[in-house]
Amino acid sequence: MTEPRLYLDYNATAPLRAEAREAMVAALGEVGNASSIHAEGRAARQRVEAARGAVAGLVGGDAKLVTFTGGGTEANNTVLTHAWSFRGQPHRANFLLVSAVEHVSVLAGGRFDAAKIRSIPVDGNGLVQLDALRRMLEAMAAEEARPLVSVMLANNETGVIQPVAEIARLAHEAGAVVHTDAIQAAGRIPVDIGALGVDVLTLSAHKIGGPQGVGAFVRAHEDLTFGPLLIGGGQEKRLRAGTENVAAIAGFGAAAAAAAVDPASTKVWEGWRDAIRDTISSSGAAATVFGAGAPRLPQTLCIGIDGIPAETLVIALDLEGVSVSSGSACSSGKVAPSHVLAAMGAPPDVAKTAIRLSLGWQTDEASLDLFATRWRRVLRHVAPGHIRAA
């Protein structure tokens, strides 16, 4: 009998939830353009609006301020623009400030020219250096520049959670607009756009058990808006042209409703994450947990084993039926070391050992024993000298 696989790569993509699949199948079984005024169109519109409400609920937002996109990367590219307006008046952002550990879709700068992008340094745990950000904002204020500040809520590789509320406070005092990429945080920790104090946040369905290829940006208030990335139609209140993908949006809404954060589950995830850490640490050579000194997502572990390249472990674990990652799935196939770990000051020989294990809604306690068994098997094959005698 074939042994079951153990999927520990939720930060790359989560398995599709049954609720999302059912919502999508139901939508695919109907006809209707959500912009049409006939009965079929109105039914499609109802599915979109129900999903809009569920996504808003996931982040404490207002449904009318949720705009659907073709994914998280599109959402990030849409909001990273200088063309903002406040109460109908131009509110142009001259510079883009991004943390050094952002997702590549944010580091690329969206619609900002490369010369207008500035990197905010982080410390050894991957946390934004607030004093450095303060100095950057003060220097720009002195030049009467108005920046857009973009700092992710939780890092996709390390799980480190940024002090976004404090970052937003500093940025707003300097007259900046603030965006946070909440794609990895939603469904893992409580997210409240009002408590964070940001102007806009971005989301992706497939990280929470929805379908791939659909995301959203959520604004905190109607008065502040920006020019659309995709033009040519009046859909999504003219903030994103193109016929809505009703089935995918319905699946996103169902996943958002199912992914509401339960504090008890969060504590369970944290315990399981640390149990996996202990299994790895106790099995042999010295282990490095990246971001260990900072608040982290309860289900994300970025860890390296001294002397064993990440690629070796990822392949060996895959052969043993365990799916993990060696960094962001968006950067797979690249030989260059992680920009996240480099920004944290990790030496190259240490950074190249980093693997990421991320848990999710299908993970259970039995997964821990299964991982421990397979982990020891892997070490016997790739590094027998690392096995500690029982």
Helix, strand and coil content of the chain, in percent to the nearest 5, comes to 40, 15, 45
Task: State how far the alpha carbon of 239 is from the alpha carbons of 66, 151, 179, 268, in Å.
Answer: 10, 22, 16, 39
Would you call 330 a catalytic residue per the annotation? yes
Q: Looking at 53-67, 203-217, 277-291, 297-311, which range is the least confident one?
A: 277-291
Domain end position, chosen among 258, 284, 319: 258
The kind and range of the H/E element at 21 are helix 18-28
Does 347 share its domain with 324?
yes
**Does 198 share its domain with 266?**
no
Looking at the structure, do residues 197 and 284 belong to the same domain, yes or no?
no
Query: Are the beta carbons of 54 and 257 closer than 8 angstroms?
Result: yes
Pairing between strand 300-305 and 354-358? Answer: antiparallel
Distance from C-alpha of 148 to C-alpha of 180, rounded to nearest angstrom: 11
353 within 8 A of 288, measured Cβ to Cβ: yes
Q: Is 207 helix (H, G, I), strand (E, B) or coil?
A: helix
How many angstroms separate the CA atoms of 351 and 337, rounded?
7
Residue 348 in tokens: 């190259």
Q: Per the domain annotation, does 136 fall within a domain?
A: yes
What band does 382 get if pLDDT is binned at 50, 70 and 90?
A: confident
Last residue of a domain, one of 235, 258, 281: 258
* pLDDT score of 386: 58
Q: Is the pLDDT of residue 390 over 50?
A: no
Final residue before a domain boundary, out of 197, 230, 258: 258
pLDDT digits (tens, 9 = 90+) for 161-200: 999 999 999 999 999 999 999 999 999 999 999 999 999 9
Task: Give first-to-last CA distance, the chain, whole Å.
Answer: 29
Strands 215-219 and 6-7: unpaired
Tokens 């153990």 found at:
6
Number of domains the chain is built from: 2
pLDDT at 305 over 50: yes
How many CA atoms does the CB half-sphere of 195 hold within 13 Å?
A: 7
Q: Examine residue 1 and state whether it is found in any structural domain, yes or no.
A: no
In contact, 182 and 190? CB cutoff 8 Å: no
Q: Could you tell me if 45 and 179 lie in one domain?
A: yes
pLDDT above 60 (res 332):
no
pLDDT for the residue numbered 387: 55
Residues 243 and 297 in one domain: no
User: What pLDDT does residue 330 have?
Assistant: 54
- Please tell me the distance from the alpha carbon of residue 141 to that of residue 147, in angstroms, as a whole number: 9
Is the pTM higher than 0.85? The answer reads yes
Catalytic residue among 28, 31, 330, 366: 330
pLDDT band at 335 (very low <50, low <70, confident <90, very high): very low
Taking all residues of the chain, what is their mean pLDDT, rounded to a whole number? 92
Q: Express each pLDDT in 91-119 by its tens digit.
A: 889 999 999 999 999 999 989 999 999 99
Q: Nearest Cα to 255, choosing from 14, 9, 10? A: 14
Burial classification of residue 217, based on how many CB atoms lie within 10 Å of its CB (0-12 exposed, 13-18 middle, 19 or more buried): buried
Tell me if 65 is assigned to some domain: yes
Closest CA relative to residue 330, chosen from 156, 101, 97, 117: 156
Same domain, 163 and 70: yes
Q: Is residue 178 part of a domain?
A: yes
224 lies in the same domain as 289: no
User: Which domain covers residue 168, as residue numbers?
Assistant: 18-258
Q: Are residues 10 and 155 located together in one domain of the fold?
A: no
Residues 68 and 123 both lie in one domain = yes
Q: What is the CATH number of the domain that holds 10?
A: 3.90.1150.10
Residues 320 and 367 both lie in one domain:
yes
CATH number at 229 reads 3.40.640.10
Same domain for 289 and 236: no
CA dihedral 113, 335, 273, 259 (to 10 degrees): 40
Q: Residues 305, 249: one domain? A: no
pLDDT above 60: residue 261: yes
